[in-house]
């Protein structure tokens, strides 16, 4: 392998500039859960370990270390959007993380999806720009097969309502997702009727991070999966339900994350 293409490995005590973490701090953790919102990091960590340890609070990255059945698991918020996700993955990979699970929210665009359901992304439409710095647009944003299969198995064990399929990832929350409740209410002509088109193409949901995660992980030979709780049913309303976000969506994504990570660890022989 060309020396320029050798994976970068941080020294044990090197603090990464954005996430504020070092290799030593994560204590050989190979898994990370990636909420977008820093305020969700603690609650997600504590579903694995009620005594999860706070590690760092740097920019949009808040992190905790949980010990689950003898295995350390990192939770680190990525912040909002694909560029932030890109920075997060780069620095986490450098300190040794191998398995990445995004735990977020999304808006559903298919009529059969209900509020609070969990979307498991098997692949993404790359409508964001960050991933284009890693691979040309023809390169697919595809979830890791085995890891995503573990997450699906976990969703079944948790008996949580879920749908596995394609997510469209955008850079903008309003215009990119054909929302008309923005400040001006105006959309460029090429953004109008986008939701109808993606629905016809069997896309399930909109989000703002998944395709960057899946593309980068594939390029870096890492494993990535994505789960999102549905907090807006776009065929009915553009409004986000905060009650659903803090209620059924949160409950479902927590159960799926717990059971999914457990299924992955069991498959790998880390736990029994």
| Marked catalytic residue, from 60, 91, 209, 259 | 91
What is the structure's pLDDT at 4? 61
* Structure tokens that stand for 108 in this block: 């559903």
Spell out the residues 6+ positions from residue 73 whose beta carbon is closer than 8 angstroms to its own. Answer: 29, 31, 32, 33, 45, 48, 49, 65, 66, 67, 261
Q: Contact at 8 Å (CB) between 119 and 206?
A: no
For the chain, the domains span 3-267
Say which residue the tokens 């350390």 belong to.
72
| Segments in the chain below pLDDT 50 | 1
193-197 contact pairs (CB < 8 A, 24+): 195/109, 195/234
For domain 3-267, give its CATH number from 3.40.50.1820, 3.90.420.10, 3.40.50.1580, 3.40.50.1220: 3.40.50.1580
Average pLDDT, the chain: 96
10 Å Cβ neighbour count for 22? 18
Instruction: Exactly one of 179, 209, 254, 259 is catalytic; name it.
Output: 179
Q: What is the pLDDT of residue 269?
A: 97
d(CA 90, CA 43): 24
Q: Is 18 a catalytic residue?
A: yes
Whether 236 sits among the annotated catalytic residues: the reply is no
Look up 221 and say whether it is catalytic.
Answer: no
pLDDT in tens, 187-201: 999 999 999 999 999
Which residues share a beta bridge with 54? 64
Q: Could you tell me how far CA 213 lies from the centroid of its own chain?
A: 7
| Residue 108 to residues 129, 163, 212, 214, 260, Cα–Cα distance (Å) | 22, 10, 19, 19, 22
Buried b (16+ CB within 10 A) or exposed e, 70-86: ebbbbbbbbbebbbbbb
Q: Is 266 a catalytic residue?
A: no
Pick the catalytic residue: 40, 126, 234, 254?
Answer: 234
């Amino acid at each position: 392998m060309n020396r320029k293409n050798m994976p970068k490995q941080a020294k044990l005590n090197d603090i990464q500039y954005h996430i504020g973490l070092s290799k030593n701090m994560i204590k050989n953790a190979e898994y990370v859960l990636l909420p977008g919102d820093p305020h969700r990091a603690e609650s997600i960590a504590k579903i694995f370990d009620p005594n999860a340890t706070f590690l760092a609070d740097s920019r949009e990255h808040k992190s905790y270390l949980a010990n689950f059945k003898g295995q350390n698991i990192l939770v680190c918020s990525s912040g909002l959007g694909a560029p932030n996700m890109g920075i997060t993955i780069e620095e986490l990979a450098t300190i040794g993380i191998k398995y990445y699970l995004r735990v977020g929210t999304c808006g559903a665009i298919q009529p059969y999806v209900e509020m609070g359901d969990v979307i498991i992304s098997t692949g993404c439409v790359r409508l964001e720009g960050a991933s284009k710095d890693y691979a040309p647009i023809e390169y697919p944003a595809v979830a890791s097969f085995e890891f995503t299969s573990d997450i699906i198995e976990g969703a079944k064990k948790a008996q949580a309502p879920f749908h596995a399929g394609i997510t469209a990832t955008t850079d903008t929350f309003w215009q990119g997702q054909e929302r008309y409740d923005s400040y001006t209410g105006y959309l460029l002509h090429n953004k109008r009727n986008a939701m109808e088109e993606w629905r016809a193409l069997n896309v399930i949901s909109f989000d703002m991070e998944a395709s960057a995660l899946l593309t980068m992980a594939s390029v870096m030979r890492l494993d990535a999966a994505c789960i999102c709780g549905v907090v807006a049913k776009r065929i009915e309303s553009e409004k986000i339900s905060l009650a659903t976000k803090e209620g059924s969506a949160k409950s479902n994504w927590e159960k799926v994350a717990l059971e999914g990570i457990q299924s992955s660890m069991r498959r790998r022989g880390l736990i029994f």
